[in-house]
Structure 1
């Protein structure tokens, strides 16, 4: 029996747990995990590290790179989980150019919870509440037709289990 492949976007603002949940989800569904942040240009990283939010122009090349990665996995019929903020609908539409059937897991949380998480995170280039406020202002949350929306107040494993249950995963037959 052929295993179904999936291309999945784990999206949300910084501090929502995209990378952590994305890694767990990839392990659960047998996919490769890619952190979209690893594909930002040095100029984008420097801009964010200085506390300056990215704009649409800054994100354009980055989104094109991620869409190409998604397309490569689709062409090989390989499973991929990619973490990317995907703040605006047009950004998600751009990523779907890589796979029109891209599945989306949207991690939503309150500003208070997100800020608490960001304050305890060490070693990341994303800085402070000004940048979070900028992301929240840019955020165009997907509706339930576009994405599986889940609260980050749940445990990472609960989130992964709930989303994995929505996928058409092959069932194992007893030996």
Structure 2
């Protein structure tokens, strides 16, 4: 009898705790956005650099163990001169032996007025030679507190001579 009374008391306390946290956080919201990563992989001010791997001057995306770091400006439009809303800061690691997968670890650090100081943490295995790659949104801060969802990446423009590409990202996140 005492065991069943203890279980009931524990479940009641757990329910109160869960409900009180839900009230503090507010309603779950969904935010979807299309963003454009302005990626400079060469030239005088690169925003993506290779820090390990082949050292013959060429980026080696398909070599196992190659690590890249990035700090791309993120804009609301395709054109690099459109309004900047965030920075994409993080790293990519070629994590498949055959070079087909890059592990992505990126923080979207928002700089625009609406979301300034908020972040989204994006992480996952990205099949780097697929047209569209999907990874998880695993967390968020600020306006995206406790965020979770998914993000797709698609390289929609590349200019090898200028060492420049534009990556479109569609992000859907549930948050409080």
TM-score by length of 2: 0.29
Whichever structure has more strand as a proportion of its residues is 2
For CA contacts below 8 A with separation 6 or more, give which structure has more relative contact order. 1
